[in-house]
Amino acid sequence: MRVVVIGATGHIGGYLIPRLVGAGHDVITLSRHARPYYREHASWTQVIKVTVDRDADDAAGTFGRRVADLEADAVVDLICFEPDSARQLVEALRPNGTYLIHCGTIWVHGPSTVVPTTEDAPRRPFGQYGKAKAAIEDFLLKESRGGGLPVAVLHPGHIVGPGWVPVNPAGNIELSVFERLAAGQELALPNLGMETLHHVHADDVAQAFALTVDRPEAAAGESFHVTSERAITLRGYAEAIADLFGQPSRLSMLAWDRWRDTVTEAAAQLTWDHIAHSPSMSIDKARRVLGYNPNYTSLEAIRDSLVWLVANGRLNAPAPPPQSV
Ligand SMILES: NC(=O)c1ccc[n+]([C@@H]2O[C@H](COP(=O)([O-])OP(=O)(O)OC[C@H]3O[C@@H](n4cnc5c(N)ncnc54)[C@H](OP(=O)(O)O)[C@@H]3O)[C@@H](O)[C@H]2O)c1
């Protein structure tokens, strides 16, 4: 298959491109090439690279045509954030019936209700990002189910892996949270620490995209959660990280209004965004329809990030021992 990947050189693409090339697909990668490859791999020498700024092309109304002209069998769109952008691409791909696979987010769901959340749960997104992604999903699935362009939508959880700072047990990305736990220091968590996070390793996200590329008949018109098997609570996560570094966990719990004053405004906002969602997603549909089978639990995926962060001098902590969480 001839596969175009839009936004190919980042975190997901770093794992997806080797999988697609390894599966024998002819791969065309699109990015601005403004940043180095997120992940070096021999497969970068086996793809056709196109340099393009999607934002500029979208504004000029030329992006969809540019992608359509590549005459792909499948297009994987990793960087679509606005309904107009999705619409432009769909209109350009429709004449050829090109199979489109869109990268969404579990934030299309808003706060969890019945958990694990399934794909057919009513959407209640909040925040600009989640609302825009939900609007894109709605447009794409209606297009596909209405007999238009075949489209599948994948919704990753909090992506982690080497090179990436995981959402931490306080629900933000302050590295000091991991450092406190690794040093056996006290850490305050909001509320009872029972809100949830749902991570996924970037390579498992790539696995799901690669499976979806190969299953257009089963996947078109459908959306799928792409997370680890199980979500984790903030408290359980904090305890597991302390344990990973051979330390007891010294946790204290503070009501949100008090806790938020203990961190920066940016950290508080990010934590609120995560705990207000408290995601816990079902991956049963992706397992059943795509054959998705994540290789990492949440804690294994997070450990992979922490090993990299320590080895690269980003995290002031001892190297985690192998496979202890
Ligand atoms: N991060 C998470 O935890 C998370 C969770 C759920 C869903 N998602 C979804 O994952 C997707 C992002 O994937 P990722 O994590 O692989 O992203 P990433 O690591 O930030 O990589 C972004 C890619 O897009 C390219 N790019 C950025 N702006 C561009 C532009 N204007 N024109 C052309 N190329 C551009 C980048 O290369 P250049 O900069 O060189 O152009 C790079 O190849 C999004 O759809 C997001 O909603 C992420």
Do residues 306 and 320 lie in contact, with contact meaning Cβ atoms separated by under 8 Å?
A: yes
CB of 33 sitting under 6 A from ligand 1:
yes
Domain housing 271? 162-197+232-279+298-311
* Pair 178, 209 in one domain: no
233 C-alpha to ligand 1 centroid (Å): 27
Residue at which a domain ends, from 211, 226, 241: 226
* Pair 71, 155 in one domain: yes
* Pair 47, 72 in one domain: yes
Kindly state whether residue 292 falls inside one of the protein's structural domains: no
CB of 19 sitting under 6 A from ligand 1:
no
The protein residue with its alpha carbon nearest to ligand 1, atom 25, reads 7
Task: Tell me the helix, strand and coil percentages in the chain, rounded to 5.
Answer: 45, 15, 40
* Pair 171, 304 in one domain: yes
The protein residue with its alpha carbon nearest to ligand 1, atom 20, reads 10
Kindly state whether residue 323 falls inside one of the protein's structural domains: no
> How high is the pLDDT of residue 322?
77
Nearest atom in ligand 1 to the alpha carbon of residue 14 is 16
257 C-alpha to ligand 1 centroid (Å): 33
3-state class of 213 per DSSP? Answer: helix
> How high is the pLDDT of residue 195?
98
* Pair 211, 84 in one domain: yes
Kindly state whether residue 291 falls inside one of the protein's structural domains: no
* Pair 208, 188 in one domain: no
CATH of the domain at 25: 3.40.50.720
* Pair 134, 187 in one domain: no
* Pair 183, 96 in one domain: no
If one counts the domains in the chain, the total is 2
* Pair 152, 95 in one domain: yes
> How high is the pLDDT of residue 324?
52
Render each residue's pLDDT in the chain as its tens digit; 325 residues.
999 999 999 999 999 999 999 999 999 999 999 999 999 999 999 999 999 999 999 999 999 999 999 999 999 999 999 999 999 999 999 999 999 999 999 999 999 899 999 999 999 999 999 999 999 999 999 999 999 999 999 999 999 999 999 999 999 999 999 999 999 999 999 999 999 999 999 999 999 999 999 999 999 999 999 999 999 999 999 999 999 999 999 999 999 999 999 999 999 999 999 999 999 999 999 999 999 999 999 999 999 999 999 999 999 999 998 775 5
* Pair 147, 21 in one domain: yes
Kindly state whether residue 78 falls inside one of the protein's structural domains: yes
The protein residue with its alpha carbon nearest to ligand 1, atom 18, reads 10
Q: What is the DSSP letter of 281?
A: B
* Pair 258, 214 in one domain: no
> How high is the pLDDT of residue 207?
98
Residue in 78, 88, 200 to alter for ligand 1 test, most ligand atoms within 8 A of Cβ: 78
200 DSSP β-pair partners: 159
- Tokens describing residue 190: 């909001």
Kindly state whether residue 9 falls inside one of the protein's structural domains: yes
CB of 138 sitting under 6 A from ligand 1:
no
Please provide the DSSP assignment of 67-90 as one string. Answer: HHTT--SEEEES---SHHHHHHHH
Report how far residue 182's alpha carbon sits from residue 247's, in angstroms, rounded to the nearest whole number.
Answer: 7
CB of 278 sitting under 6 A from ligand 1:
no
The protein residue with its alpha carbon nearest to ligand 1, atom 1, reads 159
* Pair 126, 262 in one domain: no
DSSP H helices, the chain, are: 11-22, 54-60, 63-68, 83-93, 128-145, 175-182, 202-213, 216-219, 234-244, 256-259, 265-277, 284-285, 298-311
